[in-house]
């Protein structure tokens, strides 16, 4: 993509309404624009990152044996009345009526709808287990939307819903999803710390939140220092038994907010660590809460009706974008991990219109495109300082700077955004680094 053609409305100054780093940088980098309180348009740069995050989430759900579907955003109220949650959910549910005066709602979550789908089509234990997921926009009418996309009203969410015949099988599914979440966040360069959590309006008897540490987090985490020192990826790869991985992590004390236990924290002594964290995922095991309420049964091995054991598993896809920025930024802007960066490399032409500089840049651009690196080429007629500032602001991991002096000497400047390290190497060497 040539930057001269790319819609990238960057800002030089911090917007006054932005209270946290991710909100400030997403506005400055031209990733989002507020449409109304807590509702945002995702501009091309932001959408590129959102789709990268979404792709990783989807790949790990597929690898865990889940099947994707797509459900409507508008749901009939009668399903929620059947489960008993319609009145219990509260004012955060946006209730509407259609032209035929039927009660409808803009879905904040989809337990009822997926249970309705399963009860209509799955009749026998032989058709279980099933784990269905979707990734789509949902709505929660926050009383005070703030912090940009971190506490917005409309958000892109991945939710999965599992159906198993027995409690034991359902817990095995829960553990498998637990590990899938660890893998998902690890691929983005994040450590999703699992902490015991309240089930809230979803309900159930078991729940874990996955949080990334950040000073701006809405939750206070108390945990064993040894948990923070654990190499999650090494632990995941150490065993094919997901229950072993889960047990090895959850035996450490880790809790958020109302789940904290003063006695356990006292016993930890100097090993107690208290930090703030951002929730990026939440998993629930709620047994037969919805299958019983909605009379969703299957015929068991003995022919008797059985209520399937259920769980739900959420990841805030759009929220993860903000969480990534909170975790990866510096005084100059965003520092994207390569896996989620909007572009794989950046080319800066210090003298657009110079025949030699233009030729080197065009060659780099074509070859990086051919290699699948998806480069962004700053070919604008702008001063060098503005080009450097914008490339750092939007956080491109690798930058190639082409100027008249370097071209004359047969070199370009190769920059690592994360470390700030710069070196002069040939254009071919820069290409080799990025395409190896």
Q: For residue range 51-95, list pLDDT tens digits in order.
A: 999 999 999 999 999 999 999 999 999 999 999 999 888 889 999
**Parts of the chain belonging to CATH 3.40.50.800:** 343-435
Q: Is the pLDDT of residue 248 over 60?
A: yes
Give the model's confidence band at 201: pLDDT under 50 very low, under 70 low, under 90 confident, else very high: low
Determine what percent of the chain is predicted with pLDDT higher than 90.
85
Residue 219 has pLDDT above 90, yes or no: no
Look up residue 272 and give its two tokens: 């107690």
Q: Judge contact between 281 and 57, C-beta under 8 A.
A: no
- Work out the average pLDDT over 410-433: 96
Separation of alpha carbons 339 and 344, rounded Å: 9
Of 314, 387, 382, residue with least CA distance to 352: 382
The larger pLDDT score, comparing residue 147 to residue 350, is at 350
For 394-420, the pLDDT digits (tens) are: 999 999 999 999 999 999 999 999 999
Digit-coded pLDDT (tens) for 155-197: 999 999 999 999 999 999 999 999 999 999 999 999 999 998 7
How sure is the predictor about 239, in pLDDT bands with cuts at 50, 70 and 90?
Answer: confident
The CATH superfamily label for domain 21-333 reads Bira Bifunctional Protein; Domain 2 (3.30.930.10)
Mean pLDDT, the chain, as a whole number? 94
Q: What is the pLDDT of residue 200?
A: 63
Residue 256: pLDDT above 90? no
The residues of the chain that CATH labels 3.30.930.10 are: 21-333
Q: Which CATH class for the 343-435 domain?
A: alpha beta
Please answer whether residues 283 and 313 qualify as being in contact, where contact means their C-beta atoms are separated by less than 8 angstroms: yes
Tell me how far apart the alpha carbons of residues 44 and 42 are, in angstroms, rounded to a whole number.
Answer: 7
DSSP structure class, residue 245: H
323's tokens: 């969480």
What is the sign of the dihedral through the CA atoms of 51, 53, 55 and 58? negative
For range 26-42, the mean pLDDT: 95
350, 399, 411, 430 from 387: Cα distances, Å: 8, 11, 19, 19
């Amino acid at each position: 993509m040539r930057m001269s053609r790319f819609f990238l409305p960057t800002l030089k100054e911090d917007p006054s309404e932005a209270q946290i780093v991710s909100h400030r940088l997403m506005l400055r980098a031209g990733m989002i624009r507020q449409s109304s309180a807590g509702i945002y348009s995702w501009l091309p740069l932001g959408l590129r990152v959102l789709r990268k995050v979404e792709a990783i989430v989807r790949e790990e759900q597929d690898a865990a044996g889940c099947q994707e579907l797509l459900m409507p955003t508008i749901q009939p109220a009668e399903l929620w009345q059947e489960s008993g949650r319609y009145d219990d959910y509260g004012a955060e549910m946006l209730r509407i009526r259609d032209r035929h005066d039927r009660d409808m709602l803009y879905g904040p979550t989809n337990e009822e709808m997926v249970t309705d789908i399963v009860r209509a089509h799955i009749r026998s234990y032989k058709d279980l287990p099933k784990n269905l997921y979707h990734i789509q926009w949902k709505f929660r009418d926050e009383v005070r939307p703030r912090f940009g996309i971190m506490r917005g009203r409309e958000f892109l969410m991945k939710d999965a819903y599992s159906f198993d015949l027995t409690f034991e099988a359902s817990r095995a599914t829960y553990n498998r999803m637990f590990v899938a979440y660890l893998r998902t966040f690890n691929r983005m360069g994040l450590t999703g710390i699992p902490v015991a959590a309240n089930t809230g309006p979803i309900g159930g008897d078991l729940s874990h939140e996955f949080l990334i540490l950040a000073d701006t987090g809405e939750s206070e985490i108390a945990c064993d220092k040894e948990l923070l020192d654990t190499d999650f990826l090494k632990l995941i790869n150490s065993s094919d038994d997901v229950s072993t991985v889960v047990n090895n992590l959850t035996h450490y004390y880790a809790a958020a907010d109302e789940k904290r236990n003063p006695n356990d924290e006292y016993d930890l002594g100097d090993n107690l660590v208290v930090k703030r964290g951002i929730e990026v995922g939440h998993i629930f095991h709620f047994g037969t809460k919805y299958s019983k309420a909605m009379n969703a049964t299957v015929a068991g091995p003995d022919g008797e009706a059985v209520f399937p054991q259920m769980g739900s598993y959420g990841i805030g896809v759009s929220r993860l974008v903000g969480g990534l920025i909170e975790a990866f930024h510096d005084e100059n802007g965003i520092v994207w991990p390569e896996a989620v960066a909007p572009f794989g490399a950046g080319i800066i032409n210090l003298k657009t219109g110079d025949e030699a500089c233009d030729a080197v840049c065009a060659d780099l651009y074509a070859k990086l495109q051919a290699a699948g690196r998806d480069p962004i080429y700053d070919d604008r007629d702008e001063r060098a300082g503005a080009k450097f500032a914008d490339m750092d602001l939007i956080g491109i991991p690798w930058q190639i700077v082409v100027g008249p002096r370097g071209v004359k000497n047969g070199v370009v400047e190769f920059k690592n955004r994360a470390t700030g390290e710069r070196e002069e190497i040939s254009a071919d060497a820069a290409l080799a680094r990025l395409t190896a």
